[in-house]
Structure 1
Amino acid sequence: MPFENPSRDEIRNILKQAKTVAVVGLSDKPDRVSYMVSEAMQQKGYRIIPVNPTVTGTILGEKCYASLSDIPEPVDIVNVFRRSDQVVPVAEEAVKIKANVFWLQLGIYNEEAADIAKAGGLEVIMDRCIKVEDSILLPGGK
């Protein structure tokens, strides 16, 4: 059975309930899409936790972690800015930390990763921009 994203109503509920978003592949360069999307989500009230093994220090004022497993607190959404062929290990780690949602950004799609995340009890969204969905579904904020 081919993958299907949750309905818009389900995505709205996911975003309403989410507080903490771990962003895998968040760049420390302000001109990168991952930075711009994460900054916009932060301004909408989400707590952004950067995950990037090549960055030490902070991004968007938040401590950056080398991996999801290094984050010392619960994560609602794992938002991924990595190539489609690199997301299976991220899905495995998202299951390990017991995140609620595994979200692959626009242009990122991997059915194996989706199957791993779903089998681990996570809701899965692929090939959608979290910022765009939030803007459409919660225009006035949470």
Structure 2
Amino acid sequence: MSSVDKILDDIFKETRTIAVIGASPKPERPSHYVGAYLRARGYKIIGVNPGHPGRMMFGEPVVAHLSDIQHTVDMIDIFRRSDHVLSVVEDAIEALPGLQTVWMQLGIFNAEAADLAEAQGMRVIQDRCPKIEFPRLYGEKTLPEIKG
């Protein structure tokens, strides 16, 4: 297993709750089908979108802001333009104590945001999609065995 695959494996095994930033209610949008895919694999998914607060998505009500989330979030999955990522990470650091992973979707990079998150002890993934990486590592199984 490569070092990147080891990091991804750790993330998938240690993560339980994921906030999808920019979640769309439209099934054809990547944020929607990635969230649905991860929910089907056993993760709790919380959609974050100020245009749809209270709407049910992924079996949970959508929240307008990260600060509206009332439980622990292990990972944020960012579906926003690269130039918006720093403010998302700043909000996440303030609103989500215990956040372990900042994941930026395909085509999304932000070095300043990555440096900030890493300085807080978080793992950072850029320009990758969990809907691609999960089946590449595990096939179409459900959530891998939880680490002790």
State TM-score, norm by structure 2: 0.88
Q: Calculate the aligned-residue CA RMSD, in Å.
A: 1.2
Residue identity opposite 1:60 in structure 2: F
Cα 1:94–1:138 change in 2 (3 A) is farther
Question: Counterparts of 1:115 and 1:67 in 2: how far apart (Å)?
Answer: 22
Q: Percent identity, aligned pairs only? A: 42
Which residue does 2:32 correspond to in 1?
Answer: 35
Matched, 1:77 2:75: yes
* Cα drift, residue 138 of structure 1: 2.3
Which residue does 2:115 correspond to in 1?
Answer: 115
Matched, 1:60 2:73: no
Question: Counterparts of 2:118 and 2:24 in 1: how far apart (Å)?
Answer: 27
Structural mapping, 1:14-53, within 5 Å = 14-53=11-50
Unaligned runs of 5+ in 1: 1-5
Which residue does 2:7 correspond to in 1?
Answer: 10
Displacement over 4 Å in runs of 4+? none
* Cα drift, residue 60 of structure 1: 2.5
Q: Secondary structure at the match of 1:91?
A: helix
* Contact residue 25 and residue 52 of structure 1 kept, 8 A: yes
Question: Counterparts of 2:138 and 2:10 in 1: how far apart (Å)?
Answer: 10
State TM-score, norm by structure 1: 0.92
Residue identity opposite 2:127 in structure 1: D
Question: Counterparts of 2:83 and 2:89 in 1: how far apart (Å)?
Answer: 12
Q: Secondary structure at the match of 1:102?
A: strand
Count of residue pairs the alignment pairs up: 137
* Cα drift, residue 129 of structure 1: 0.3
Unaligned runs of 5+ in 2: none
Question: Counterparts of 1:121 and 1:127 in 2: how far apart (Å)?
Answer: 20
* Cα drift, residue 72 of structure 1: 0.5
